[in-house]
């Protein structure tokens, strides 16, 4: 049974706004199911190659950070390593106050140095996973990683 609880009697007249009522049993059930499905998806992702991808990004990040010029690029590969380790439930957003022209220039350098090939690799894996119905959630994660791998500067990860 779906119980709708109104915050006050005056809110009955403003039903067009969804903030006025809360569907307790349904919302709580969906949140629990969503969190458990994310956890299961992340565990399956780790077992079938996610930990290897994340480890490769971590190694490349350490190698890039050994040079002073490579530190900004090493930080971006750390972003990729974090998302590659636990992709289900993470969201990638454009920073509202990105550094403008600097992030554009750094993204162009990133694309020419290797970001294009990393992105193509994730796109290929995404297409291969999307062939089967079971692989569609994993394909979506590879497409998310492809977008981040193409232009990582000026983006943030939300857990």
Residue 20 above 60 pLDDT?
Answer: no
Q: Are 64 and 125 in contact (CB under 8 A)?
A: no
In the chain, alpha helices (H): 24-45, 51-65, 71-85, 101-110, 116-130, 136-150
pLDDT tens per residue across span 24-74: 555 555 555 578 888 999 999 998 888 988 999 999 999 999 989 999 999
Give residue 87's Cα distance to chain centre. Answer: 6
pLDDT at position 11 is 42
Residue 4 above 50 pLDDT?
Answer: no
pLDDT tens per residue across span 104-124: 898 899 999 888 999 999 999
Q: Any residues with CB less than 8 A from the CB of 52 and at least 6 apart, and which?
A: none
Q: Are 156 and 93 in contact (CB under 8 A)?
A: yes
pLDDT at position 159 is 79
Residue 151 structure tokens:
């232009």
pLDDT tens per residue across span 71-86: 999 998 998 999 999 9
Q: Assign 146 to helix, strand or coil.
A: helix
């Amino acid at each position: 049974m779906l119980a709708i609880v109104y915050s006050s009697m005056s809110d009955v007249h403003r039903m067009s706004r969804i903030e006025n009522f809360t569907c307790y049993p349904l919302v709580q059930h969906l949140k629990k199911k969503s969190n458990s499905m994310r956890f299961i998806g992340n565990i399956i992702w780790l077992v079938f190659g996610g930990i290897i991808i994340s480890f490769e990004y971590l190694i490349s990040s350490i190698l890039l950070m050994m040079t002073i010029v490579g530190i900004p690029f090493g930080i971006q590969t750390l972003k990729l390593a974090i998302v590659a380790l636990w992709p289900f439930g993470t969201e990638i957003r454009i920073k509202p106050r990105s550094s403008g022209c600097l992030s554009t220039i750094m993204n162009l350098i990133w694309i020419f140095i290797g970001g294009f090939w990393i992105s193509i690799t994730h796109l290929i894996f995404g297409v291969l996973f999307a062939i089967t119905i079971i692989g569609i959630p994993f394909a979506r994660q590879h497409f998310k990683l492809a977008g981040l791998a193409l232009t990582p500067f000026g983006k943030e990860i939300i857990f």
